[in-house]
Structure 1
Amino acid sequence: MADNRQNTNVSIRTPRARVQGLGPSGHGAGHWWLQRLTAAANAPLMVAFVVIIALMAGRSYPEAVALMSHPLVALILILAVISVTLHMRLGMQVIIEDYVHDKGLRIAALFANNFYAVIVAVACLYAILRVGLSRLA
């Protein structure tokens, strides 16, 4: 006699245990949280950045250097650069992973995205530190 029951993959794992792997790539939830964290950090950091830029308007170069040499100002600018470039890299990574379907092109685009974010961050951090520390010399 033939068995009419369907062979289904019955899992004894709970729904929470099945999603514990954070998606097919294993980094979905962490990536999502980091994107939200950098977005939340960017809001007050960009307000502070705009205030710093507004304070520099109309000042001479030595006065602007003096403002940027203040440790709190330099720290705010450094944190802003790190948060913004990390947020930019994460956002572009999601776009690349979602819309670039060719595996080789996707790997090249992800590499270029990471390279670009690092170059932007390093250039900005170098400028901030160079101007901020020039007053000490």
Structure 2
Amino acid sequence: MMTTPLKRVRGFGSAKGGTRNYALKQATGFASALVTPYIIFLGFWLFGKPHSEVLKAFTHWWVAVPTLIFIMLSVWHMRLGLHAIIDDYVHAHFLKLVLVGANWLFCWGLGLVCCLAVIRMFLAG
């Protein structure tokens, strides 16, 4: 099958998804890279501290908010990356649909559980 010039310009490949997922994956990766040093610093700062001090730290917005941002960016980036892998390597249409749905449910379910845990610690104080 021949590719029309318009299709080539729009960036539609074999998955018919264009460059949107690629651009989003790059953007979430870049944004995560900006937040990651703070999260690493936070991890070193809280490492070895008693449980009560860690919980108390998460009652501050300057700990909880960047942690929530990092979780959501990481989950979104993970979902996009796994979706690209599924598109590239799974060729059976029904199996692809099942795996993409499972990927979506797993990633956003994990993100929801993590965010609820951080919000619960934030509101505990």
TM-score tier, shorter chain, comes to 0.7 to 0.9
Moved over 4 A (4+): none
Deviation at 1:27, TM superposition (A): 3.4
Aligned residue number for residue 41 of structure 1: 31
Match of 1:28, SS state, is coil
Aligned residue number for residue 62 of structure 1: 52
Deviation at 1:59, TM superposition (A): 1.7
Deviation at 1:26, TM superposition (A): 5.2
* Equivalent residue for 1:109, pick from 99, 115, 125: 99
Aligned residue number for residue 133 of structure 1: 123
AA aligned to 1:126 is L
Deviation at 1:21, TM superposition (A): 3.4
Q: Deviations over 1:113-137 (max 9, x none)?
A: 00000111001001100111101xx
Q: Which runs of 5+ in 1 are unaligned?
A: 1-8
Fraction of identical pairs, as percent: 24
Indicate the RMSD between aligned Cα atoms, in angstroms.
1.9
Scaled by the length of structure 1, what TM-score is found?
0.81
> Which residues in structure 2 correspond to 1:5-84 (within 5 Å)?
15=5, 17-24=6-13, 27-84=17-74
Q: Deviations over 1:63-96 (max 9, x none)?
A: 1112111102111000000100000000000000
For residues 91 and 57 of structure 1, the distance between their equivalents in structure 2, rounded to whole angstroms, comes to 30
Aligned residues: 122
AA aligned to 1:96 is I
Q: Which runs of 5+ in 2 are unaligned?
A: none
